[in-house]
């Protein structure tokens, strides 16, 4: 019931999310909105449970396990046939601040300091603290490849040409994003059975007028980790937050394990980059 309540907080408040959290001065909320919306949400949850109990009864007793962990660090002790995720996109959406109302009500963080700690531990966004990026810049053994270095150089050149940008350390933020995702993908690739699949739904980005094909780079990182690029499917067309006329895409990246991923990592083999 607390989860149901958290899901209606924005709808029955003076806030909006489009896509970032903010106030909506012109928004009108009826006095009975919390009661009405909560009742409707509980009814929807009950209907979902009824559907599971009637049409999917044979699956109800399937063993399940929920693990709360950082996927950049956690290495599953078992192997899977299928892993599906939609990781954070490399853009200006600060997921922690955007969902801080729900995070607070559900008890995941109680102070701004706890929110900061949660954000610093996540796959990086461009609203991460400068201290995190400074520490990352001095780290040894960071993941990189020629494609990432080329994009970083282009972003740095564009920022210098502009003379001002919201984050001058954006090249390092981009680097840390792919370093974070490499850690996630490395752990996942070692936990997929031969013949299993790793599916990522991800969007590309435009940063400082530099196009970043995040989906293609992550697909190639998967290949470097010994996975086969099985399919790239465009799910939808998006618009850049910087240049609204610039068309971006959301892609479903399907990677397949063919029994080589563990060997690649153990032998230090790498795919060839352009």
> For residues 9 and 35, what is the distance between their CA atoms, to the nearest angstrom?
11
pLDDT score of 29: 94
Q: How far is CA 8 from CA 35, 78, 99, 227, in A?
A: 10, 37, 12, 40
For the four alpha carbons of 10, 11, 15 and 16, in that order, the dihedral sign comes to positive
Which contiguous run of DSSP H or E holds residue 250? strand 247-257
pLDDT per position as a tens digit, 52-107: 999 999 988 888 899 999 999 999 988 999 999 999 888 767 889 999 999 999 99
Give the pLDDT band of residue 272 (cuts 50, 70, 90): low
> For residues 192 and 75, what is the distance between their CA atoms, to the nearest angstrom?
11
> For residues 158 and 46, what is the distance between their CA atoms, to the nearest angstrom?
53
Dihedral angle over CA of 270, 228, 177, 172, nearest 10:
40
> For residues 122 and 55, what is the distance between their CA atoms, to the nearest angstrom?
37
pTM of the model: 0.87
Which contiguous run of DSSP H or E holds residue 222? helix 214-224
Question: CA gyration radius for the chain?
Answer: 21
pLDDT score of 89: 86
> For residues 109 and 103, what is the distance between their CA atoms, to the nearest angstrom?
6
SS percent in the chain: helix, strand, coil, step 5:
40, 20, 40
Q: What's the burial of 224, exposed, middle or buried (CB within 10 Å: 0-12/13-18/19+)?
A: buried
pLDDT per position as a tens digit, 188-211: 999 999 999 999 999 999 999 999
Residues paired with residue 252 on neighbouring β-strands, in sequence order? 201, 233
> For residues 191 and 156, what is the distance between their CA atoms, to the nearest angstrom?
36
pLDDT per position as a tens digit, 221-261: 999 999 999 999 999 987 766 666 788 999 999 999 986 54
């Amino acid at each position: 019931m607390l989860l149901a309540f958290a899901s209606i907080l924005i709808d029955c408040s003076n806030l909006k999310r489009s896509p970032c959290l903010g106030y909506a001065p012109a928004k009108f909320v009826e006095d009975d909105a919390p009661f009405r919306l909560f009742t409707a949400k509980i009814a929807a949850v009950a209907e979902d449970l009824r559907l599971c109990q009637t049409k999917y009864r044979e699956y109800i007793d399937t063993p399940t396990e929920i693990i709360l962990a950082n996927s950049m660090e956690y290495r599953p002790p078992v192997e899977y046939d299928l892993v599906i995720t939609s990781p954070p996109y490399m853009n200006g959406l600060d997921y922690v601040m955007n969902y801080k109302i729900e995070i607070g009500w559900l008890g995941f963080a109680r102070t701004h300091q706890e929110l900061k700690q949660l954000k610093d531990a996540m796959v990086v966004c461009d609203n991460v603290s400068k201290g995190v990026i400074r520490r990352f810049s001095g780290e040894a053994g960071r993941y990189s490849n020629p494609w990432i270095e080329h994009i970083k150089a282009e972003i740095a050149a564009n920022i210098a040409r502009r003379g001002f940008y919201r984050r001058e350390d954006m090249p390092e933020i981009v680097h840390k994003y792919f370093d974070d995702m490499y850690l996630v993908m490395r752990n996942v690739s070692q936990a997929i059975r031969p013949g299993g699949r790793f599916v990522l739904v991800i969007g590309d980005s435009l940063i400082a007028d530099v196009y970043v094909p995040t989906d293609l780079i992550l697909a190639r990182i998967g290949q470097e980790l010994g996975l086969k690029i099985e399919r790239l499917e465009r799910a939808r067309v998006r618009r850049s937050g910087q240049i609204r006329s610039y068309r971006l895409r959301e892609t479903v990246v399907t990677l397949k394990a063919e029994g080589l991923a563990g060997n690649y990592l153990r032998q230090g083999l790498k795919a060839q980059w352009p």
